[in-house]
Structure 1
Amino acid sequence: MLRALAAAGLFLLSLAASAQVASPYAIEHPPWFAHSFLDLREDIADATRDGKRLLLYFGQDGCPYCARLMQTNFTQRPIVDKARQHFVVIAINIWGDREVTWVDGTRLGEKAFARQLGIQFTPTLVFFDEKGNIALRLNGYYPPRRFEAALDYVAGRMESRHAFGEYLKGVVKDEASPTLHAEPFFLPPARSLARQPGGKPLAVLFETPYCSACDEMHREGFQRPEVRAELSKVDIARFALGELDQWVRALKILYTPSIVFFDAQGREVFRTEAYLRPFHLAGAFAYVSSGAYLKEPSFQRFLQARAEHMREQGKTVDLWK
């Protein structure tokens, strides 16, 4: 059984009582996680019938690395799309009491089941093949690029051809930034977000560490002169997705980067989810700052008109650059 540990994600259960970071909320799972009677024989058969594989996520409330998995990995669209396309994902609470039927017919509570599989870290993710054998096991938190590589490895049925460690070395060349990027146009952290009559609209950017789309937005999108010109017309606040949990829940932020725009009365008027190329990024800010959203409810139509106007002025418009 593969025990490649992600050092950043080690979370010893034996230290849980003393070292675990308390959370005021239970850790929510994505709504597309499967609901199951936890008969793994049926779950594997159903997944196989649909051309998928079973993935068990072992977690616990208050586990910071489980929260990172949910808030960072499972908010990035490429990862979400691959997970939904290739896997049936079921959550197991290592302290839970629901009955689990193992592949040999043995029935155990979740706690006993976790012990039987030797779960020592949360999160632990166990991938099964079509015969109920473990194809891959990830002990601890894997940052998005490595986690996505694991999804590709199991979805591609590569466990019989390559050791995961060797495969990982060949496909993951670099990691996304482990820290958030600072920008001079962000509002100071202590600044009130309350809007004043006649003031600028507010754009609130939600992102996470280890988000390659966030890195690209800062590295490329925010550096373009045409984007910078639009940024100056709004106030911009930035938060990590794990901050302000109640507000994030109310806004239903699922992907990073997400930008939520508010008018001068503090009402949400528009949002973007996931990374946009510079033309669309500048267009999103212009759509709100100009008030165009009040007259044109279709952002795509606004972009088409904006592109046509730019061409009439002799400017080159490339939607992908």
Structure 2
Amino acid sequence: MLMFKRLTFLLLLCFGIALASTDDSYTYGEADLKGIFNPNADIKLDNKPIFLVFGQTGCYYCAMLRSDINKDDFLKNYLKANFSPYYINIRHDKKHNVGYLKLNNISSRDYARLYNLTGTPMIVFISEDGKTIFRVSGYPGHDRLVTMLKFIKSDKWKAASNEQERIVLYQDFEKALKEKK
């Protein structure tokens, strides 16, 4: 019985320490995102396109996306220099102020619903004026992600009037890059 009490005490102590050291800007399991993704309480345009990721705890492909970004200095630096990156964990009941949509205290799940979340991860590229460029459901893989970032940065997507046309332009962009290799 004494052993059980000691074990219970140790578990509660560890849990308390973990809670006390939590940075509210990021949620549990996403400490690897610090320094790459912006804190997501206030989501705003900073004269750069937004790279918005909706993920969740326990999602294999969300973890793969985060791992690829963390391991690749080019990808990490390119994201930070050219985009306003945000990661939203839909499993956590956080509130967000979304300046470009003029929404305050919207929950993570309601925010995801605005983009018709169909699965995680979901990547949403948002223009400097707050319009959706296009959405990607699932993790496209490292190389395709880099190509997507370069496509958005190139501004070639601006020649299209809707999301479907932008996807076609992206496919042409990707094909042209492959032909150069």
Give the TM-score of the pair, scaled to structure 2. 0.69
Aligned-residue offset at 1:53: 2.0
- Alpha-carbon offset, residue 55 of structure 1: 1.4
User: Aligned letter for 1:152?
Assistant: K
Structure 1 counterpart of 2:101, from 104, 108, 128: 104
In the aligned structure 1, how far is the partner of 2:63 from the partner of 2:80? 19
Calculate percent identity across the aligned residue pairs: 23
Q: Determine whether 1:95 maps to 2:91.
A: yes
What is the aligned length? 142
Q: Relative to 1, partners in 2 of residues 1:53 and 1:26: Cα closer, same or farther, differing over 3 Å? A: same
**1:66, CA displacement in angstroms?**
0.7
Secondary structure in 2 matching 1:160: helix
In the alignment, the residues of structure 2 paired with residue 119 and residue 81 of structure 1 have an alpha-carbon distance, to the nearest angstrom, of 27
Which runs of structure 2 are paired with 1:4-23 in the superposition (5 Å)? none
SS of equivalent residue, structure 2 residue 139: coil
User: 2:103 is aligned with what amino acid?
Assistant: T
1:156-195 alignment, distance < 5 Å: 156-161=154-159, 163-172=169-178
Counterpart-to-counterpart distance in 2, 1:127 and 1:85:
15
Structure 2 residue 127 is matched with structure 1 residue 123: no
> How far did residue 137 of structure 1 move?
1.8
SS of residue in 1 equivalent to 2:32: coil
User: SS of the residue aligned with 1:72?
Assistant: helix
Q: 1:142 to 1:68 in 2, by over 3 A?
A: same
User: Is residue 57 from structure 1 mapped to residue 61 from structure 2 by the alignment?
Assistant: no
User: How far 1:134 sits from its partner (Å)?
Assistant: 1.0
Structure 1 portions without partners, runs of 5+: 1-24, 175-321
Q: Equivalent residue for 1:37?
A: 41
Please report how far the alpha carbon of residue 64 of structure 1 lies from its aligned counterpart in structure 2 after TM superposition.
0.4
**RMSD of the TM alignment (CA)?**
2.2
Asked if the contact 1:53–1:128 (Cα under 8 Å) also holds between the matched residues in 2, the reply is: yes
From the superposition, tell whether residues 112 and 167 of structure 1 become closer, same or farther in structure 2 (CA, over 3 Å): same
**4+ runs of 1 displaced by more than 4 Å?**
none
In structure 2, list runs of 5 or more residues that go unmatched: 1-27, 160-165
Aligned residues of 1:60 and 1:95 also touching (Cα < 8 A): yes
Q: 1:150 aligns with which of 148, 151, 162?
A: 148
Structure scoring higher RCO (CA < 8 A, sep ≥ 6) equals 2
* Structure-2 change in CA distance of 1:151 and 1:55 (3 Å): same
Q: Match of 1:69, SS?
A: helix
Instruction: Name the structure 1 match of 2:82.
Output: 86
User: Once the two structures are superposed, what CA deviation does each residue of 1:197-221 show, in whole Å capped at 9, x if it has no partner?
Assistant: xxxxxxxxxxxxxxxxxxxxxxxxx
Higher helix share: 2
* Larger Rg over CA atoms: 1
**For residues 1-321 of structure 1, what are the structure 2 equivalents within 5 Å?**
26-32=29-35, 33-38=37-42, 40=43, 43-44=44-45, 47-48=46-47, 52-102=48-98, 103-107=100-104, 108-161=106-159, 163-172=169-178
The residue that corresponds to 2:10 in the other structure is none
**What secondary structure, in the 3-state scheme, does the structure 1 residue paired with 2:151 have?**
helix
Aligned 8 A contact 1:27 1:67 in 2? no
* Cα distance, 1:82 vs structure 2: 0.8
